[in-house]
Amino acid sequence: MDATAISYPPAARSSEAEMLHGTEVADPYRWLEDAGDPKTAAWVSAQNDLTEKMLAGVGSRAVFAVRLSRLRELPAAGVPFQRGGRWFQRRHAGLPEQPDALYLMDEPGGRGRVLLDMSAGGTSAVAAASVSPDGSLLAYAIRDAGADWLTWRVRQVGSGRHLADVLERSYAAVWRPDSSGLYYTRASVAGGGRTQVSDAVLFHRVGSSQDADDLVMTLDDSGQWPEIDISGDGRHLVVSLSRGLGAGDELRVVELARPESGWRLLMPEGQHRHAVAGAEDGVFYLLTDDGADHRCRRRGSGARQLAGGDTRS
């Protein structure tokens, strides 16, 4: 088919826009994000019809269809991991009607049983799953219809029973080492229920209401985006702040046993990316792209001592 003769389904442009980091950004096709809108369904259907019409003229399509179908039917499995004496593994049976699933096993290589179906159903999908360090609880995040934020829920591993815990308007979440709760980033909401930016880090204790969660950090600079993790020795909460792709990182840490001591600056904001690779006795080992050509590789690891702030390699 002549590309110049293609008649694409028309997509209406709206005047909708939102403020992001102080800049107005036009979003004229936001209406297409509503999968339940009949207008969206009609547009998607027309696009699919056009695609099928184009592909019908490709003589080798059947060959690729057979090959890809066979590859998709191959079973796949992730690396087993242990939490609290229990073993877990992510698997795919290889059958199209069976989605990825998280399995619970007595031992590596065991048959196990499905702990979590990663498809959630409809337009919802499981975006993330995390087992508590003691292996007793599973936290998993649902993304509904392509929404910007996630909703986290908690389930007992042994019984499979859901707890009442629900964390809305969230992104990343990590377990506290004692399995008592989750640290997570919370998103603020702009007009029309849209996410504007993650504006805080909070701690949720299992069994409590989200309204009672402890505020751990407030982000005064709306241009910085947080990622959270627990240091390898389990002693510190690490927050990495960046301004998006290509920007550098700012690293802050707080001691979990003494949160009243406040946040410590591990690496100031700059032009380079940094990540904590490990920590022991107050010394943090960092991966950095400082000195790497075009950021295509990372150069070794350096060590930064929390108390003195001196850098060693």
Closest CA to 169 of 191, 189, 155: 189
d(CA 132, CA 301): 29
Q: What is the mean pLDDT of residues 294-301?
A: 45
Tell me the pLDDT of the chain averaged across its residues: 82
Residue 310 pLDDT exceeds 50: no
Name the residue with higher pLDDT: 51 or 292.
Answer: 51
Residue 303 pLDDT exceeds 70: no
Whether the CA torsion 171, 176, 181, 183 is positive or negative: it is: negative
Residue 30 pLDDT exceeds 50: yes
Give the model's pLDDT for residue 103.
93
d(CA 94, CA 100): 9
Strand boundaries in 236-312, DSSP class E: 236-242, 249-255, 264-267, 274-280, 283-288, 301-305, 311-312
CATH number for the domain running over 75-222: 2.130.10.120
CA atoms within 13 Å, Cβ hemisphere of 247 = 14
Distances (CA, A) of 252 to 56, 101, 171, 242: 55, 35, 19, 12
Whether the CA torsion 138, 127, 123, 111 is positive or negative: it is: negative
List the alpha helices (DSSP H) in the chain.
38-55, 61-72
d(CA 194, CA 186): 13
Closest CA to 157 of 86, 210, 92: 86
Least confident of 57-66, 145-154, 185-194, 245-254: 185-194
Q: Residues 197, 201, 205, CA angle at the centre, nearest 5°?
A: 135
* Candidate ranges 131-140, 196-205, 222-231, 273-282; pick with highest mean pLDDT: 131-140
List the alpha helices (DSSP H) in 61-212.
61-72
Residue 312 pLDDT exceeds 50: no
Q: What is the mean pLDDT of residues 283-298?
A: 70
Give the model's pLDDT for residue 220.
67
Give the model's pLDDT for residue 117.
85
> What are the structure tokens assigned to 129, written together?
């799953």
CA atoms within 13 Å, Cβ hemisphere of 40 = 10
Give the model's pLDDT for residue 120.
60
Closest CA to 206 of 154, 135, 151: 154
Give the model's pLDDT for residue 212.
93
Q: What is the mean pLDDT of residues 81-88?
A: 95
Over the stretch 107-126, which tens digit does the pLDDT of each residue have?
Answer: 998 899 999 987 766 667 78
Give the model's pLDDT for residue 123.
67
C-beta separation of 198 from 225 below 8 A: yes
Amino acid 16 reads E
What is the band of 247 on the pLDDT scale with cuts at 50, 70, 90? low
C-beta separation of 176 from 256 below 8 A: yes
